[in-house]
Amino acid sequence: MTKTLNYPKFTLKEKASQEEIDFFNQYGFIHYTRFITPEHAAKVAAAIDVKSDEIVAKQLDKINGIPIKFGIDEHGKKVVQRFPYTSWHVNEVAALYDDPRLKSLEVFLPNTKYPKRIGLKEKDGVVANHYFNAQESGYKQLGWHTDVAREFALGGKMYTMLNVGIYLTNSGPVNGGLRAIPGTHKDGSFKVLFRKTQVLDTSEDPNEVMIEAEAGDLCVHDGRVWHRVAMSPHQGALSHRRVMYVAYLCGPADERHENSKTPFYHRFLGLAK
């Protein structure tokens, strides 16, 4: 059974407190409640849906070289389930990342010779994930992985990164929920890469904890922490889970554009169903 770690939750302000820093350093993740209201989160989700319908109608399959994942929901409707570079296409999404409170997260990254920045134009940009459990869902779950492994696959050195998630729906055991192994960001790089089989391993881990969140919450994890998204035990309506992620980076710039090639790690991510 997945453990429920009774961890403290915080409120995002323009400067992180020592308690937040200590918590993050120990566990490799941190949970801020109500970054935006649940009503605001629902509006953002609706704006993404409008664009997602356009993408389906236009039969786009990639944005800036990053594959779009599709699936068919319980109503027989084709929907986007992994939407990269959302902030380029949806103003309501872009506006969220202008929030000055996000700068307080920089303290969780090491100082390097590169600027710390939110990767709106790098990697996969802001990715809007929409998981559900239906016969023809293209994304029911996501197996164990570390986000920095993608960096490594992109060519060499691993720079620490944060993955910043904004929840658009509630998330917990009903719709799958995020599971993480706290503290694994402190393992050496070998374990960060090879503790488990990246993406393909979807089995429960005795040390995993569930991160239960509400629509509008913001959760950050260190890109070296092992995590997975479990499949919902329900089918259809109850199983929908939506969350947006973007990387907070401190490595060399890697801006993508319309003609960018598809990175190799997407062959791997394509295996997640």
Ligand X SMILES: O=C(O)CCC(=O)C(=O)O
- Select the residue interacting with ligand X from 23, 70, 132, 245 (CB under 6 A): 245
A 10 A CB-CB count for 27 gives 22
Closest CA to 131 of 38, 62, 234: 234
For Fe ion, which residue has the nearest CB? 147
Site membership for ligand X, residue 227 (CB under 6 A): yes
Q: How many residues belong to the site for ligand X (CB under 6 A)?
A: 10
Measured from the CB atom, is 27 or 245 closer to ligand X? 245
Total residues contacting Fe ion by CB under 5 A comes to: 1
Place of tokens 């570390």: 146
Query: In 3-state terms, what secondary structure has residue 42?
Result: helix
Alpha helices in 132-264 (DSSP H): 148-155, 189-194
Query: Cα separation of 164 and 248, whole Å?
Result: 7
| Choice between 40 and 186, CB closer to Fe ion | 186
182 scored as a contact of ligand X (CB under 6 A) = no
Q: Which of Fe ion, ligand X, none does residue 69 bind (CB under 5 to 8 Å by kind)?
A: none
For ligand X, the closer of residues 108 and 245 by Cβ is 245
What, of Fe ion, ligand X, none, does residue 165 touch, CB below 5 to 8 Å by kind?
Answer: ligand X
Strand order in the sheet with 227-229: 142-145, 227-229, 178-180, 209-211
Q: Is 139 in the site for ligand X (CB under 6 A)?
A: no
Q: Which residue is nearest to ligand X (CB)?
A: 178
- Quickly count: other Cβ atoms within 10 Å of residue 268's Cβ: 17
- Residue in the block written with tokens 């459990």: 133
User: Which of 124, 147, 205, 208 is the binder for Fe ion (CB under 5 A)?
Assistant: 147
| 129 is an interface residue for ligand X by CB under 6 A | yes
Query: Angle at Cα 255 formed by Cα 249 and Cα 257, nearest 5°?
Result: 145
Rule CB under 6 A: which of 146-175 touch ligand X? Answer: 147, 165
Residue 113: CB minimum distance to ligand X, A = 26
Using CB under 6 A, which of 45, 162, 178, 250 touches ligand X?
178
Q: What beta strand segments (E) does 139-255 contain?
A: 142-145, 162-167, 178-180, 209-211, 218-222, 227-229, 241-249
Return the one option of Fe ion, ligand X, none that residue 178 interacts with (CB less than 5 to 8 A, by type): ligand X
Minimum CB distance to Fe ion, residue 224 (Å): 11
Residue 232 CB neighbour total at 10 angstroms: 23
Question: Which residues make up the interface to ligand X (CB under 6 A)?
Answer: 127, 129, 142, 147, 165, 178, 227, 229, 243, 245
